[in-house]
Structure 1
């Protein structure tokens, strides 16, 4: 639905460590590194998720972003990666039938306070 998404980070190095660990299980990694801006992509190699240093100032507001996982085992792997990083777990992996049957997700807090979800619809 979206072409790309970009987030500004207070600590780009901490955010990079978080997203490298959490997104590796779903096949997302840094495809472009401009030093103060990182472009992340899946298997197609086209960056669609961007992280950059905070440049506009002000207070960050929580953003919710969800990444697709192929199966429940991958959601569990992401959960463990978050735990290993010491990330806040907003919601443990579970099925959310109020969304639809088979909606299985984990919700983590990134270093900037954003709500990061990894979900499978299988």
Structure 2
């Protein structure tokens, strides 16, 4: 259903360090990185799509985060949710909701919410029972 997600960023080096830490915890692999463009993209080791891409906006204007917009990344376990959340905060992210059960979504929904250094809101979640 989704080919790729593109997140606009301001400072490529800072954002790359932030996202590389998260993608490593999620087990995603770097497909490309071009600091001259600048952009980078990650994917599953098993499939070429979807891609998760960060970069400066194509139109050359500053990247802006949107109110009500969020990208949720899928984790294979609750422990990975916790590791990704910790990596986000250790690399310049800010908390929007610590790891925990969110039973109002469904009984096994375990998620954490944070913003990247540019203010983009992200979630990492697991839908499996412990």
TM-score, normalised relative to structure 1: 0.89
User: Could you say which residue in structure 2 is the equivalent of 1:13?
Assistant: 13
SS at match of 2:25: helix
Runs of at least 4 residues off by over 3 Å: none
* Alignment partners' CA distance in 1, 2:117 and 2:90: 14
CA positional deviation for 1:45 = 5.4
Unmatched 5+ stretches in structure 2: none
Give a deviation string over 1:23-80, Cα, whole Å, max 9, x none: 2111123211232121211112526111112342156133310111011011111122
CA contact (8 A) 1:69 1:118 kept: yes
Query: How many residues align structurally?
Result: 122
SS at match of 2:81: helix
Cα RMSD for the two superposed structures: 1.7
SS at match of 1:16: helix
User: Could you say which residue in structure 2 is the equivalent of 1:60?
Assistant: 64
User: Could you say which residue in structure 2 is the equivalent of 1:30?
Assistant: 30
Unmatched 5+ stretches in structure 1: none
TM-score, normalised relative to structure 2: 0.84
Higher mean C-alpha deviation, range 26-35 or range 11-20: 26-35
Pick the aligned partner of 2:119 from 102, 113, 119. 113
